Chain A
């Protein structure tokens, strides 16, 4: 929501955002690369803890900085953040220091006790990841037993009286047909449904071709999202679909380095949680200027905040709402960053994808990988909770 005296000369908010802010609005902080699951599409290629992960004291120092910068809340993810032994301590430390917490979990540590603890803290929100409305669809992607774990967590949270839980779904070819079932499932637990886009980030790059929605499904999803409006959250992740016609609610803009960024478990700061690659590494919170210095002065972020040309998309009539789509999706599929999104609704991305090398050698590989070595036969599909770029609840209903 925007409040300003009505004045036609005012620049649109998206234009102001493009130049960057003094502090991020949508900060994701992945606390650990450790994860009990091994989801096939994990955006951060999580699995094993990294020995260089921030210590409790270092994490608290980051929270102090966020408080000073007035970062109102952080989206905490991983890996599975709750497996960090100091998770609850950091949670309480953050909320006691004016930094609200929204965390993503696969549910593994949500017991009746922890659920009550979460419900008792007014400044904590939780989102439970689930990528299938049935165990068959979910567990194929997130691993055996993960559906039951998520539903158990939702049950404990509901029984603890926790309000506003989010059921977070990454949309794939296999679960888009279940979208009404997800809505019913969320309703059953008094939760809010959150649908986000599958990006070819982390291990997601390996499965993106087989999991991404078909063109027909994209269109159905767009219609479904328009029908459901603000009752369903999207992290503003489908703005490339705005090119079908009407803009979806939310911020239609790639916020990477402008309003969005990621602090990874070892303190590296990336432009976006879906862009864990040297190309988008802006600095580290352990650097002399801390996180503040990285956010305000890193050359990478300065560059991302400079006016973009739009490249091949400039002549497209939908550029104003679509903005050429997602930078990370383009990067990891090997497409030019100033051209169309690989899932451009006009099909321009498909044309470019078709022209790439068939062996994938022209695609960047993730520079960071904490996947566990595969010890079991490949029938078992590994995972980490896909953590979303933005938790939008404050931005839902907001129209520039």
Chain B
């Protein structure tokens, strides 16, 4: 269980957004995320997680996005850990930082 990993709680209080080089593709089971820079593919198997990720850009914090999606408090650590692992693989970036990524004008945002 990733719930005992250090840190995920702290992440919930920051504002996150998908890395500008990441695309999200809806699928019957949830969604695929593809990072055009690292060429990594990630699978989001829980539709609620997909919805949280979709709401991140508008939410003041990850915690707020979870609240929008009516995630019960008891489940917050699990979702926090899932978001933390997305951040570790650079699929998510902190919102304040996102403007710094340069796409070299390729159109592949």
Q: CB within 8 Å of B: which residues of A?
A: 1-7, 10-11, 13, 16, 19, 21-23, 25, 70, 72-73, 95-98, 100, 121-123, 125, 393-395, 398
Could you say which of A13, A72, A100 contacts B25, with CB atoms under 8 Å apart?
A72
What residues on B are CB-neighbors of A125 within 8 Å? 39
Give every chain B residue within 8 A of A95 (Cβ-Cβ): 106-108
How far apart are the CA atoms of A19 and B28 in the complex, in Å? 9
Residue of B nearest to A22 (CB): B27
Interchain CA distance A398-B33 in the complex, whole Å:
13
Which of the candidate stretches B9-17, B42-50, B54-62 sits at the interface with the other chain?
B42-50
* CB contact under 8 A between A5 and B40, given known A22-B26, A95-B108, A98-B108: no
Q: A95-B108, A393-B39, A394-B41 are in contact. Are A4 and B3 (CB under 8 A)?
A: no
Point out the residue from A5, A13, A25 that lies within 8 Å of B79, measured CB to CB. A5
A98 contact from B39, B43, B107, Cβ within 8 A: B107
Are A96 and B107 in contact, CB atoms less than 8 angstroms apart?
Answer: yes
Contact of B75 among A5, A13, A70, A100 (CB under 8 A): A5
Q: Mark B86-101, 1 if CB is under 8 A from A, else 0.
A: 1001010000000000
Complex CA distance for A11 and B1, rounded to whole angstroms: 16
Interface residues of B (CB under 8 A from A): 1-3, 23, 25-30, 32-34, 36-37, 39-46, 49, 75, 78-79, 81-82, 85-86, 89, 91, 104, 106-108
For residue A255, give the distance in angstroms from its CB to the closest CB of chain B: 13
Q: Could you say which of A5, A11, A22, A395 has the most chain B C-beta atoms within 10 Å of its C-beta?
A: A5
Which of these, A2, A5, A11, A100, contacts B42 with CB under 8 Å?
Answer: A2
Which residues of chain B are near A73, meaning CB under 8 Å? Answer: 34, 39
B40 touches A394 (CB 8 A): yes
**Nearest-neighbor residue (CB-CB) of A120 within chain B:** B104
| Complex alpha-carbon distance, A19 and B46, angstroms | 16
**Majority secondary structure, A binding face:** loop
Contact residue among B1, B32, B79, B104 (Cβ-Cβ distance under 8 Å from A122): B104
Q: Which residues of B contact A22 (CB under 8 A)?
A: 25-28
Query: Is the pair B86, A3 in contact by a Cβ cutoff of 8 Å?
Result: yes
Give Cα A260 to B91, complex, Å. 24
Q: Which residue of A lies closest to B24 (CB)?
A: A70
A6 pairs with B3, CB closer than 8 A? yes
CB < 8 Å: which of A1, A6, A96 contacts B41?
Answer: A1
CA–CA, A398 to B89, complex, Å? 13
Q: Which of A3, A21, A100 is B85 in contact with, Cβ under 8 Å? A: A3
Known interface pairs A7-B78, A25-B32, A98-B36; 8 further A-B residue pairs with C-beta atoms within 8 A, sorted by A's residue number:
A2-B42, A3-B44, A13-B43, A16-B28, A21-B27, A22-B26, A73-B34, A122-B108
CA distance A123 to B36 in the complex (A): 7
> Are B41 and A3 closer than 8 Å at their CB atoms?
no
Contact B78 A394 (CB under 8 A): no
Selected A-B contacts with CB under 8 Å, 28 pairs: A1-B89, A2-B43, A3-B44, A3-B82, A3-B86, A4-B45, A4-B49, A5-B46, A5-B75, A6-B1, A6-B78, A7-B78, A16-B45, A21-B27, A21-B28, A70-B23, A72-B32, A72-B34, A95-B106, A96-B106, A96-B107, A98-B36, A98-B108, A121-B106, A122-B106, A125-B39, A393-B39, A394-B39
Alpha-carbon distance A174/B82, docked complex (angstroms): 46
CB nearest to A393 among chain B residues: B39
> Separation in Å of the A141 CB from the closest CB of chain B?
29
Known contacts A70-B23, A72-B23, A122-B104; is-contact A3 B39 (Cβ 8 Å): no
Whether the Cβ atoms of A13 and B36 lie closer than 8 Å is: no
**Contact in complex: A1, B45 (CB < 8 Å):** no
Q: Report Cα–Cα, A95/B106, bound state, in Å.
A: 8
Contact (Cβ within 8 A) B43 A1: yes
Q: A4-B49, A70-B25, A95-B108 are in contact. Are A100 and B39 (CB under 8 A)?
A: yes
Residue among A7, A21, A23, A394 making CB contact with B46, cutoff 8 Å: A7
Bound-state CA distance A21–B26 (Å) is 9
